[in-house]
């Protein structure tokens, strides 16, 4: 299967639709169920696409093409996947607000279809209002939410809170890469919520709800906690020792987003060395990074774990550096956040946030030196 996935990766990177199709057909002929092809062939190949993007070996356009070809292959597999026997149940499946990644959620929708459910897939970036109107209009038997980027955790949290308020009896399942290493305690506001690792676990869960004549995928283990590299240990201890910020301050930080981001953007744009700081990545990428920083920190200040912050900082520094940012950019960015926080928030809120930002200021150069 690894070999099939490696060949599939070559095909999608070469934009070779015919080769991708042949590999899917070979997997079917070898007896793999469509959901197994999703898990064992498509998913690892797309993860490898992401690693190549992070290492600046391929462009965002290549990511888009890899997705489009994979979605085309998924559509081709549909007749093999759809179960002829229907349970009459409906699942509403959505990627949370802010999330442009949709393939994992679409696989989840197909998993329901394979086990006789109907799935209403709302696609990427499902605004909370939209989720709400679909829940009240369609009255699904279950809602499944997908999170790829942990910076969107606060959007997931909000969606779950709204569902707990308006559809308490409707079970919710949440899953996706963005959950790894995050503190998910806040999600327990919903009395009937399950965190599910992958399609194997999901198919086992669906088969429990609606026992199905077909054979579910073999069960997998629980959501694996990421292994943190030993070199992270001192950083994790330092983050754990930071004073907690408090929900009120996290709310104020989030609400001041537009003003904070504009302030940080203008400070960095005004620098004479700005082009050297962002290099070939360009100023637009820098502005996007500031928006992402704010979104991630809004979630992390509420529900973050040390490994969630450390993992994101390590990833951000590595990925943006390979895309052209100078290592000196990070200190200037964090300095700009400290100044913006002082200007845009109350003195008490700024005092609560300062230890976290001061820690990032001195930790980022050390994180940049860690081996990849
Ligand atoms: C394609 C892609 C894109 C496309 C998405 C197109 C689309 N229509 O989906 C585009 C170009 C838009 C994109 C944009 C970005 N991306 Co992108 N992207 C990817 C890539 C290569 C593949 C995503 C994918 O389809 N994976 C395959 C699916 C099947 O995997 P999955 O979502 O994990 O789903 C599986 C399980 O998690 C589970 N699951 C998922 N949801 C649920 C829900 C439930 C209920 C259950 C039970 C299970 C479940 O089921 C699936 C099967 O096992 C990933 C690499 C990766 N590691 O995934 C990067 C990746 C996710 N992207 C990344 C980044 C940084 C970005 C950008 C910020 C920058 C960029 N690259 O342009 C933007 C952000 C946009 C946004 N706001 O969302 C990073 C995230 C890093 C991080 N740690 O946060 C990754 C990991 C790349 C990397 N290695 O650096 N991206």
- pLDDT tens for each residue of 112-121: 999 999 999 9
Smallest CA separation from ligand 1 atom 14, residue: 100
Atom 91 of ligand 1 has which residue's CA nearest to it?
A: 101
212 pLDDT band (50/70/90 cuts)?
A: low
How many angstroms is it from 349 CA to the middle of ligand 1? 33
Residues near 4 by beta carbon (within 8 Å), at least 6 away in sequence: 23, 26, 27, 30, 40, 41
Residue nearest to atom 26 of ligand 1 (CA): 46
The CA 341 to ligand 1 mean position distance, Å, reads 30
119-124: long-range pairs with CB below 8 Å, 24+: 119/90, 119/91, 119/92, 119/93, 120/90, 120/91, 120/92, 120/93, 121/93, 121/94, 122/92, 122/93, 122/94, 122/95, 123/94, 123/95, 124/95, 124/99, 124/100
Name, in order, each residue with C-beta under 8 angstroms of 93's C-beta and a sequence gap of 6 or more: 105, 106, 108, 109, 112, 119, 120, 121, 122, 143, 144, 146
Q: pLDDT-based confidence at 86, cuts 50/70/90?
A: confident
Q: Per the structure block, which two tokens stand in for 27?
A: 């997997």
Q: In this model, does residue 107 exceed pLDDT 90? A: yes
- The tokens for 236 are 């994790």
Q: How many CB atoms neighbour CB 51 within 10 A? A: 10
Banded pLDDT at 226 (limits 50, 70, 90): low
Residues with Cβ within 8 Å of residue 78, at least 6 apart in sequence: 110, 113
Domain 82-214 belongs in CATH node 3.30.70.990: no
Among 62, 101, 187, 317, the mutation site with the greatest number of ligand 1 atoms within 8 A of its Cβ is: 101
Q: What is the pTM of this model?
A: 0.84
Token output for 64: 């888009």
Question: Measured from the CA of 38, which atom of ligand 1 is nearest?
Answer: 52
User: Model confidence over 247-287: pLDDT tens digits?
Assistant: 899 999 999 999 999 999 999 999 999 999 998 889 999 99
Report the DSSP beta bridge partners of residue 142: 91
- The tens digit of pLDDT for each residue in 147-178 reads 999 889 989 999 999 999 988 889 999 999 99
Q: Is the pLDDT of residue 67 over 60?
A: yes
pLDDT at 218 over 70: no
Q: Name every residue whose Cβ is closer than 8 Å to that of residue 205 and which is 6 or more positions away in sequence.
A: 173, 194, 196
Task: Note the CATH number of domain 230-368.
Answer: 1.10.490
- What confidence category does residue 217 fall into, taking pLDDT thresholds of 50, 70 and 90? very low
For residues 38-47, give the mean pLDDT. Answer: 97
Block residue for tokens 């694996």:
224
pLDDT of residue 98: 93
Supply the pLDDT for residue 61.
94
Answer whether residue 205 shows pLDDT above 80.
Answer: yes
Distance between CA 114 and CA 212 in Å, rounded? 10
CATH of 1-76, picked from 3.30.70.920, 1.10.1240.10, 3.40.470.10, 1.20.1250.20, is 1.10.1240.10
Say how many Å lie between the CA of residue 101 and the centre of ligand 1.
5
- Mean per-residue pLDDT of the chain: 91
C-alpha of residue 148 to centroid of ligand 1, in Å? 5
* Percentage of the residues of the chain whose pLDDT score is greater than 70: 95
Distance 93 CA to ligand 1 centre (A): 16
Domain boundaries, the chain: 1-76, 82-214, 230-368
Mean pLDDT in residue range 34-46: 96
Percent of the chain beyond pLDDT 90? 73
The predicted pLDDT at position 211 comes to: 67
Give the Å distance between the CA of 307 and the centre of ligand 1: 19
Ligand 1 atom nearest residue 174's Cα: 45
Atom of ligand 1 nearest to the CA of 63: 1
Specify the pLDDT at position 196.
Answer: 92
Ligand 1 binding pocket (C-beta < 6 A) is 39, 43, 46-47, 49-51, 53-54, 60, 63-64, 67, 98-105, 107-108, 124, 144, 146, 148-150, 173-177, 196, 198-199, 202, 315, 319
Least confident window among 68-82, 128-142, 168-182: 168-182
Specify the pLDDT at position 222. Answer: 44
Mean pLDDT of all residues in 278-298: 93
Q: What is the pLDDT of residue 299?
A: 87
Instruction: Give the pLDDT score at 220.
Output: 42
**Is residue 312 over pLDDT 70?**
yes
**Residue 81 near residue 34, CB atoms below 8 Å:** yes
Quote the ligand 1 centre to 59 CA distance (angstroms): 14
Query: 291 vs 281, which has greater pLDDT?
Result: 291
């Amino acid at each position: 299967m690894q070999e099939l996935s490696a060949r599939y990766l070559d095909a999608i990177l070469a934009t070779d639709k015919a080769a991708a199709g042949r590999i899917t057909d070979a997997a079917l002929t070898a007896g793999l169920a469509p959901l197994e092809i999703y898990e064992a062939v498509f998913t690892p190949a797309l993860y490898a696409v992401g690693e190549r993007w992070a290492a600046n070996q391929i462009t965002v356009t290549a990511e888009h093409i890899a997705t489009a070809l994979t979605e085309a292959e998924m559509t081709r597999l549909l007749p093999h996947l759809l179960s002829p026997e229907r349970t009459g149940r409906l699942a509403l499946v959505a990627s949370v607000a802010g999330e442009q990644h949709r393939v994992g959620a679409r696989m989840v929708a197909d998993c329901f279809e394979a086990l006789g459910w109907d799935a209403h897939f709302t696609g990427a970036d499902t605004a909370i209002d939209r989720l709400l109107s679909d829940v009240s209009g369609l009255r699904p038997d279950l809602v499944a939410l997908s999170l790829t980027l942990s910076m969107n955790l606060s959007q997931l949290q909000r969606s779950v809170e709204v569902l707990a308020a308006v559809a308490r009896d409707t079970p919710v399942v949440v899953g996706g890469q963005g959950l790894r290493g995050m503190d998910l305690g806040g999600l327990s506001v919903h009395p009937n919520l399950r965190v599910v690792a992958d399609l194997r676990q999901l198919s086992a869960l669906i088969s429990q709800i609606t026992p199905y004549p077909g054979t579910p995928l073999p069960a997998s283990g629980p959501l694996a906690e990421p292994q943190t590299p030993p070199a992270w240990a001192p950083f994790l201890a330092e983050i754990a020792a930071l004073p907690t910020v408090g929900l009120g301050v996290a709310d104020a930080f989030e609400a001041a987003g537009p003003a904070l981001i504009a302030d940080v953007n203008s400070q960095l744009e005004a620098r004479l060395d700005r082009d050297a700081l962002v290099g070939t990545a360009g100023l637009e990428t820098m502005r996007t990074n500031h928006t992402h920083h704010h979104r991630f920190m809004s979630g992390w200040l509420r529900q973050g774990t040390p490994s969630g912050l450390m993992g994101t900082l390590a990833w951000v520094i590595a990925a943006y550096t390979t895309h052209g940012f100078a290592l000196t950019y990070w200190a200037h960015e964090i300095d700009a956040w400290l100044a913006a926080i002082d200007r845009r928030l109350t003195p008490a809120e700024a005092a609560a946030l300062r230890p976290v930002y001061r820690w990032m200021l001195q930790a980022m150069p050390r994180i940049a030196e860690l081996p990849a």
